[in-house]
Amino acid sequence: MREPGISHPRLPLPSPGQEDDPAAFLAWLGEAIPMVGHLGIEAMQRDGDALEWRLGLSPNLNDKGTGFGGSLAAQTTLLGWCWTTLWLRRHGFDRDVVVAKAEQRFLAPVTGNYRLVCTPEAEEGPARLGARLAQRGKGRIALVQRLWCGETLCLEARGDYAVLPAG
């Protein structure tokens, strides 16, 4: 059981040229952030610069039988944190990431299982983050998360994620 004020041990970086195993990363994430086990994440996959979660609606229901906005907002924020953390890990950085700003726009009710996709807001965002880390030892990236229920875009979110200096 996690204790307030005590950091959870970091997951070791993957070997150079290797990527994180999605199942192992999600298992670690569930230990590091206890609420993760209650979010209904069924799968995680990466495709280029996109990170996707597949989620079940049942654990995220509101009183109307649709997706609970607070749960969906937490998922978008956490997925952006995961995108940034996994990007850093692929590039050999063992750094802390924090969300600096997050906002959501709810467009349609979530009425079934769904997928949440996170991508950089700007195509050059990852390269800019890498350059900032090389120059200043810290950086920031803007990410967009989109929640799809079937072919319907139900939620669009944006977050700024800060990478803290080593130390």
Beta-carbon-side half-sphere exposure of residue 108 (alpha carbons within 13 Å): 13
50-107 pLDDT, tens per residue? 999 999 999 999 999 999 999 999 999 999 999 999 999 999 999 999 999 999 999 9
pLDDT of the residue at 26: 94
Measuring CA to CA, which residue among 103, 94, 101 is closest to residue 133? Answer: 94
Structure tokens at 82: 């995961």
CA dihedral 144, 20, 131, 116 (to 10 degrees): 0
Dist. CA 32–CA 7, nearest whole Å = 8
Q: Which residues contact residue 43 at a Cβ distance below 8 angstroms, ignoring those fewer than 6 apart?
A: 22, 53, 54
Q: What is the share, in percent, of the chain residues with pLDDT greater than 70?
A: 100
**C-alpha pair distances (Å), 51 with each of 66, 111, 165:** 24, 22, 24
Domain limits of the chain? 22-163
Question: If one looks up domain 22-163 in CATH, what number appears?
Answer: 3.10.129.10
Predicted confidence band at 17 (pLDDT cuts at 50, 70, 90)? confident
Task: Specify the 3-state DSSP secondary structure of 145.
Answer: strand
pLDDT of the residue at 3: 85
